[in-house]
Amino acid sequence: MPEPGRALPQPTPETKHFWDGTQAGELRLQRCDECSHTYFPPRPFCPKCASRKVSVFAASGRAILDTYVIHHRKVPGFVPPYAIAVVKLAEGPRMMTNIVECAQTPEALQLDMPLEVVFEKQTDTITLPLFRPAKG
């Protein structure tokens, strides 16, 4: 028996565009057509003004490291210590993620450091958006 991997998302009709996006190499957000509010997580209406007129668009993938913990306990699919991070996307919303291609230490993980999205395939149907220190 292989070791169990990390927990994986099960997309719903309202979130399918996001998970289709990560498979296609896009970080897809939603923006309200009426009030221009950009939001996450996905839903088919604007959480600010309740309009159902919203559009999906590909975000830049740029973000800064907003906050994190470095988790020291064993979790399936992870080798401790590893950071559980929240990034603030250039477009405004925050999302939880992991920081890759970076030492998982307080010294390496500086708040407000610029990051960029990378897509890590987990299965034939699920690809996760992770972030690494920005290169450009």
Partner 1 sequence: MPHNTVAVVGAAETTKLGVIPDMSQIQLHADAALNAMADCGLKPRDIDGVATAGETPVQIAHYLGITPTWVDGTSVGGCSFMIHVRHAAAAIEAGLAKTILVTHGESGRSGIGRGQRPVPASSLNGQFEQPFGPMGPPSLFPIPVLRYMKTYGVTHEQIAMVSVVQREWAAKNPRATFRDPITVEDVLGSRMIAYPFRLLQCCLVTDGGGALILTSADRAKDFPTKPVYILGTGESVETPMVSQMESFTSSRAFSVAGPTAFREAGITHKDVDHLMIYDAFAHLPLYGLEDLGFVPRGEAGRFIAERNTAIGGKLPLNTNGGGLSYMHSGMYGMYALQESVRQMRGSAPAQIPGAKISVCHGVGGMFAASGTIIFSNQKP
- Per CB under 8 A, the list member of 29, 54, 85, 102 interacting with partner 1 is 85
Q: Does 84 bind partner 1 (CB under 8 A)?
A: yes
| Single-letter residue type at 22 | T
Q: In the set 49, 58, 69, 103, which binds partner 1 (CB under 8 A)? A: 69
98, 83 contact by CB (below 8 A)? yes
| Site for partner 1 contains 128 (CB under 8 A) | yes
Residue with tokens 């600010």: 48
The answer to whether 66 touches 73, Cβ cutoff 8 Å, is no
82 binds partner 1, rule: CB under 8 A: yes
Which of residues 29, 54, 68, 89 is near partner 1 by CB under 8 A? 68
Nearer to partner 1, 73 or 135 (CB): 73
Which of the 8 DSSP states describes residue 20? H
- Using CB under 8 A as the binding rule, whether residue 81 contacts partner 1 is answered as yes
Q: What are phi and psi of 27, to 5 degrees?
A: -100, 100
Name the H helices within the chain.
16-23
Q: Does 106 bind partner 1 (CB under 8 A)?
A: yes
In Å, how far are 29, 32, 44, 55 from 49, measured between CA atoms? 17, 8, 12, 14
Task: Compute the least distance from the CB of residue 93 to partner 1, in Å.
Answer: 8
**Distance between CA 5 and CA 43 in Å, rounded?**
28
Does 9 participate in binding partner 1 (rule CB under 8 A)?
yes
Residues that bind partner 1 (CB under 8 A): 6-12, 15, 19, 40-41, 66-73, 75, 77-78, 81-82, 84-86, 94-98, 106, 111, 128
